[in-house]
């Protein structure tokens, strides 16, 4: 049995594409860009809706590039893993499902979601940070099974998403071959979920995982990601799951 997960995992904090923006407050990130905002405003109906976030939405990142407070041990906390839906692209922090869920549970939140991340990304982050935080709850929404990371050095953060360009052609060809058989993607996701659950439970926590398919009721500022009502409904559903056990 593994006695010390930190000895077998990363010896350095895992990086993401947002690490270079650590300790910064951002007004825009992909896909919630200023250019997309201007284009969306060409539609009067969309403009009227997304204007509600004017001067109200920023992305405050901690010293490791996560949209959360500084990370430390808290065995009564909630850790959220996932991709852009967990990070809260296009939403104010207090509108994101994991923030709403933490408030309902009355506990501290560590939001470790990474826009565009894969389940590999979530596992890489979890394997380093969960043994440090030792949270009571770990919740993960998504990411899609067809995403996976291709890493060639420790600051590398390529995530292969079908249809997107990069990394270099040879690696992309390998990635295409890997996911051409759907079972590879499903097994890869299942393996990561079991691994995250194992780490969570070793430190006394409980793991809850969900597919990315929130019921779409509304949209965020980028007009692509789920909106405030969708996140509120998701938080309520997850809360009910936690309370039912």
Question: Which residue segments constitute the domains of the chain, with CATH numbers given?
Answer: 73-243 (3.40.50)
pTM across the whole model: 0.87
Q: Which residues contact 1 (CB under 8 A, 6 or more apart)?
A: none
Q: Are strands 25-26 and 59-60 parallel, antiparallel or unpaired?
A: antiparallel
For residue 192, the SS3 value is helix
Cα R_g (the chain), whole angstroms: 18
Q: Find out whether 68 and 110 touch, Cβ atoms under 8 Å.
A: yes
Contact at 8 Å (CB) between 228 and 95? yes
Beta bridge partners of 82: 141
Tokens 């709850």 locate to 137
Closest CA to 120 of 195, 179, 181: 195
Q: List the chain pLDDT tens, one digit each, 245 residues.
A: 444 555 555 678 999 989 999 999 999 999 999 999 999 999 999 999 999 999 999 999 999 999 999 999 999 999 999 999 999 999 999 999 999 999 999 999 999 999 999 999 999 999 999 999 999 999 999 887 767 776 655 665 566 666 565 556 666 666 666 666 778 788 889 999 999 999 999 999 999 999 876 678 899 999 999 999 999 999 999 999 999 96
118, exposed or middle or buried, with CB in 10 Å at 0-12, 13-18, 19+?
buried
What are the backbone dihedrals phi and psi of residue 8, each rounded to the nearest 5 degrees, phi first? -95, -15
Q: Which residue has the tokens 């596992």?
A: 123
- The burial of 227, by beta-carbon neighbours within 10 Å (0-12 exposed, 13-18 middle, 19 or more buried), is given as buried
Q: 27-41 burial, b if ≥16 CB within 10 A, otherwise e?
A: ebbebbeeebbeebe
3-state secondary structure of 49: helix
Side-chain half-sphere of 185: how many Cα atoms within 13 Å? Answer: 18
């Amino acid at each position: 049995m593994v006695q010390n997960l930190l000895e077998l995992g990363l010896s350095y904090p895992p990086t993401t594409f947002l690490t270079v923006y650590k300790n910064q407050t951002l007004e825009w990130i992909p896909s919630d860009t200023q250019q997309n905002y201007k284009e969306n405003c060409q539609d009067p109906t969309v403009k009227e809706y997304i204007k509600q976030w004017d001067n109200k939405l920023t992305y405050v990142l901690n010293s490791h590039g996560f949209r959360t407070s500084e990370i430390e041990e808290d065995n009564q906390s909630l850790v959220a893993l996932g991709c852009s839906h967990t990070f809260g692209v296009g939403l104010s922090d207090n509108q994101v499902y994991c923030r709403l869920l933490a408030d309902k549970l009355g506990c501290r939140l560590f939001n470790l979601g990474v826009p565009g991340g894969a389940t590999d990304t979530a596992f890489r982050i979890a394997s380093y940070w969960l043994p440090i935080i030792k949270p009571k709850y770990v919740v993960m929404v998504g990411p899609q099974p067809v995403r996976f990371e291709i890493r060639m050095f420790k600051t590398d953060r390529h995530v292969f998403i079908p249809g997107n360009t990069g990394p270099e052609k040879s690696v992309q060809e390998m990635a295409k071959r890997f996911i051409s058989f759907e079972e590879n993607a499903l097994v890869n996701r299942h393996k990561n979920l079991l691994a995250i659950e194992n780490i969570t439970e070793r430190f006394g926590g409980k793991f809850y995982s969900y597919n990315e398919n929130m019921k779409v009721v509304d949209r965020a500022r980028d007009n692509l990601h789920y909106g405030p009502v969708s996140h509120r409904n998701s938080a309520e559903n997850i809360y009910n799951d936690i309370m039912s056990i």
